Each structure stands twice: as structure tokens, then as C-alpha cells.
Structure 1
Amino acid sequence: MFDYKPNIEKRLINRREIVFIVLAGLFLGSLAMLNILGISRYIHFHINIFNLEIPVMFFVGILPYPITFLCTDFISELYGKHRANMVVWTGLMLNIWVLFILWLGGILPPVPEIIAETGLPAVSDQDFSFFHIRKLTFGATAASMIAYLTAQFVDVHVFHLVKSITKGKHLWLRNNVSTLTSQLVDSVSVVLITYFYAHAIQIPEGRTITQTLVIFILSSYIFKMLSALLDTVPFYIGVKYLSKYLQIDPVSEFKK
């Protein structure tokens, strides 16, 4: 008789690696997109609650951000802390690679004439769009790299801390606690660094610096918080399905 066990194990290993690559790829792709879009546009509107006009302001780069935390939570749950941290470090290198390409693209000839007041070519110059995005991305990415590293490592650490404390139970708790904690860290740090270090946040007329920064921080955090709460159900379903599909027991270490 033929022994099919080695083939079954090989297919299972391939299956696990393919899912890991998809999760890591989605994470890295979203990360690259949010850094390039970054602060290229800020969204500003008001929400009327009990006849009270509440301002909402956040940068467009925040839109793909929640998916990065969902991906690292999946990787943490299914593949462990080591692989989750490896993906986080890869994301840092990706940030550096994006900055390098933008820097290289800006120094290759022909270099357009730069207007001193704006640090950009004339609006009519065909290179204006590239240099505008380049300037915004440089300012935003410098800030987001620090915030990103801090927040992602907090996410991974808190996720596994809660998992250890609860002995692998209450998946919803570690998913939400880790994400909400890390995204608060990210929201505060990225806004403050973007303003004070990168000088890339403009204060709207009629608002103070404090008002503007608080609105940005709260708007960003509430958006991320709602996204984190909404992704609890897909995270539960995803872990339940993938753990069976990949034949991984995420809480096996607590059953000994």
C-alpha cells in the first residue's frame, strides 16, 4: 500500500504558508497604501447629535489602517507572536523602501525648478503631482514609522498578554483590548509627531492648535475603535474557519 501521509503533511504545510502569505501581503499592501496616501487629503465633516455639531477630521490614509491590525491579530492567533513581530519588522523595512524610491525618483534628471516658498515645482509643471505626493509622504511616513512600530508592537504584546491571562479563552477580549490599546497609542503619537516634527498639519482658520490636534486624535481613534469593534465578528469567524482549514489549535499551549 502507498503511504499518503507525507503528501498530506506537505499539502498542509503549503496551505499554512499560502494563508500566511495572503495575510502578510494584505497587511503590507495596506501599509504601503496608507503611507503613500498619508496626509494627501484630510476629510472634514460634522455629525449632528442632539442638535450638537461635532466636528470630525482625519486623513485619508487612515482608511486602510484597521485592516493592518486585523491581519496582525490573525497572524498572532494562528502563527504566534514571533511571526507577528516578523511581519511588523518587515512593514518597517517596507516604509524605508517607499521613502527610498520617492527620494530616488526626486533626484533623477531632469529635476524641475523648485519654488522656494512651496518646496515644489510650479503647478503647471508635469512633475508637480509627484513632488507634491513626495513631500507629503516624506512628512507623514517619518511620523507614522515611529507610531507604527510602537502601536504594532503594543498590539502584539497586549494580544498575547491577554491570551495568557485568560488561558486562551475569550477571543473577542484579546482582539478588542489589543487593538483598542494599540490604536490609541497610534492615534496620539502619529498626530503629535506629524504636527510637531513633520509640520504637516495645517491649523484651520478659527481653530487653535490644541483644538485641531484633539479633534484629529479623537476622530482617528473613534474611527479605529468602531472598525475594531466591527471586525470582532469576522475575526471570530475567520479564526474558527482557518484553524480548522489549517489544522491549527490556537490555544493548544493552554491545554497541557
Structure 2
Amino acid sequence: MIHNIVKDKSTKLFVGITAFFVANALIAECIGGKIFSLEKLLGLEPANITLFGEPNLSFNLSCGVLLWPLEFIITDIVNEYYGPKAVKKISYIAVALISYAFFIFYMAINFPPADFWIGSGSENHIPNMNDAFTSIFGQGMWIIVASIIAFLVSQLVDVTIFHKIKKITGEEKVWLRATGSTVVSQLVDSFIVVFIAFKIGKGWSWSTVLSISLLGYSYKFLIAVILTPVIYFVETRIEHYVGAETAKQMKLSAMKNE
């Protein structure tokens, strides 16, 4: 029986997708502490936008946004072939493992550093390696809580909207349910992160929270639209891997298991 499960292509595909999904989520959390300038990356001048009375806003984004749009695409793929219960399952797994990772980071940060190691980065202009390690892996507690809650809530919103649209469109218009669910869930994700981490955690004004959330969401919205063709490419590869008939049965089963 075990050998049959291991050899089953749909099972192997699900395990592979789950591993990729969790890895991307964890990487996104780890690199999320770096803020990059989208304008500088594209060789443009700062946007200097004014939103909700907040002036001189530019597209300074967390590096986590490089991977989060991909996570929502993976969610849509799992939704299409395995159903909402599977999406919830991989989301809970990701949250559990991210929480575990942060717990290990916390332990590592609080272990006493070796004396020789503290100054070992001086040649690279890092006077205190322990401080550098702590600043990279020791994100603020509010940011950690915000990112985990936002991730889980947005995933549940995505799966709900995806299937509501699919009930209306059937097997047609994959782009509509994929993009529609993603743009809404990304909005939820953007707002929750900023609200918990900076409104509750740091006392930001509502105007700042709304302007920063909307600015970050505008980038995510654009990327979600650009990445829509990826859905069709992945579906083609899946059908090639498991076979057209099996893929069709997987989609039908996914709808029944809602």
C-alpha cells in the first residue's frame, strides 16, 4: 500500500507543491526584513506620491513581496486540483513551520556568543557579529505576529473567493477566479500586516497605515495580473505529468470536496 501511495503521481505532486509552498513562505519571512527601492531597481526617480495626506511616498517594499505573489498562485493551483481543504491544510502546515522557525531563531539569538566570533566580521566592516545576527533574525514580535496572521487569513480568503467564482464559471475562465481571488486576498494581506505590526505595534496613524497598505498593494496587484499566464503554464505541465484524464478527475474531485 505504501509503495502505491509513493508511486501515485497526484500524491507526489501534492507533496512537491506543499514543500515548495512552505519553503517559499519561510524564505519570504526570512528576507522580509530588508526594504528595497522599486524605483532604484528600475532606474526611476522616486514616485513621491501623496495618499491620505501622507506626502513623498515611494515604492519602498519588503523583499518578502518577491515571493508572496507566487504563494497565491500556488494556492490557486492547489485549489484547482485538490480543493479548499488541501489549501487550508498546506496553509496550516506553513504557519506551524514558520512559527517553529521563529522559535529556533529566538533560541539562537539568546545563546551566548563565542568571544572570538563577535569580532570576526571586522574585516567586512561588521564590528559586532552578534548584533548583526540579532538584527537580521530578530524581527520585532509584532511583525512576526502580523505576518503569520495576515498569511493565514489571506489564504482562507483566497480559497473562499476562488471557489465561489468557480461555482459560477465552472471549468472556464481560470484567469478570472485565479486573479480575482488573488487581488482580494492580497489586499487583505497588505492591510493586516501594516495594521497589526505598525498601527497596534507602533501606534501609526490611520492615514499612514492606509497609505502604506495601498502602496504595497498596488505593487502586489500589478504582479498578480502579470503572473496570471503562469497559472495556464503550470496547469499544462500538471496535465502532462499526471495525464489529461487524471487531471480532469482531480478537478472534479476538488469541487466535490469543498
Alpha-carbon offset, residue 79 of structure 1: 1.4
* SS of equivalent residue, structure 1 residue 147: helix
CA RMSD across the alignment:
3.0
1:136 corresponds in structure 2 to 139
Alpha-carbon offset, residue 140 of structure 1: 2.2
What does 1:206-217 align with in structure 2 at a 5 Å threshold?
A: 209-210=205-206, 212-217=208-213
Q: Using the alignment, how far apart are the partners of 1:74 and 1:234 within structure 2?
A: 10
Alpha-carbon offset, residue 68 of structure 1: 0.6
Q: Which amino acid aligns with 2:198?
A: Y
Map Cα deviations across residues 200-246 of structure 1 (whole Å, 9 max, x no partner).
x9x8xxxxx45543342122211211121112112012213313432
Give the alignment partner of residue 25 of structure 1, picking from 14, 19, 36. Answer: 19
Q: Using the alignment, how far apart are the partners of 1:88 and 1:106 within structure 2?
A: 27
- CA spacing shift, 1:69–1:231, aligned 2, 3 Å: same
Q: Give TM-score scaled by structure 1 length.
A: 0.77
2:42 corresponds in structure 1 to none
- CA spacing shift, 1:39–1:110, aligned 2, 3 Å: closer
- CA spacing shift, 1:131–1:227, aligned 2, 3 Å: same
Sequence identity of aligned pairs in percent? Answer: 26
Cα contact 1:58–1:216 (8 A) shared by 2: no
Count of residues paired in the alignment = 228
Q: Give TM-score scaled by structure 2 length.
A: 0.77
Unaligned 5+ segments in structure 1 are 1-5, 113-122, 204-208
- CA spacing shift, 1:137–1:243, aligned 2, 3 Å: farther
Alpha-carbon offset, residue 170 of structure 1: 1.6
Moved more, 40-49 or 14-23: 40-49
Give the alignment partner of residue 231 of structure 1, picking from 227, 236, 241. Answer: 227
1:252 corresponds in structure 2 to 252
Alpha-carbon offset, residue 173 of structure 1: 1.0
1:196 corresponds in structure 2 to 199
Q: Using the alignment, how far apart are the partners of 2:220 and 2:127 within structure 1?
A: 38
Map Cα deviations across residues 118-143 of structure 1 (whole Å, 9 max, x no partner).
xxxxx722211111123326442211
Q: Using the alignment, how far apart are the partners of 1:212 and 1:162 within structure 2?
A: 33
* SS of equivalent residue, structure 1 residue 102: helix
* SS of equivalent residue, structure 2 residue 24: helix
Q: Using the alignment, how far apart are the partners of 1:88 and 1:135 within structure 2?
A: 23
Q: Using the alignment, how far apart are the partners of 1:57 and 1:214 within structure 2?
A: 15
1:14 corresponds in structure 2 to 8
Q: Using the alignment, how far apart are the partners of 1:138 and 1:40 within structure 2?
A: 16
Q: Using the alignment, how far apart are the partners of 2:48 and 2:110 within structure 1?
A: 48
Cα contact 2:142–2:201 (8 A) shared by 1: yes
2:118 corresponds in structure 1 to none
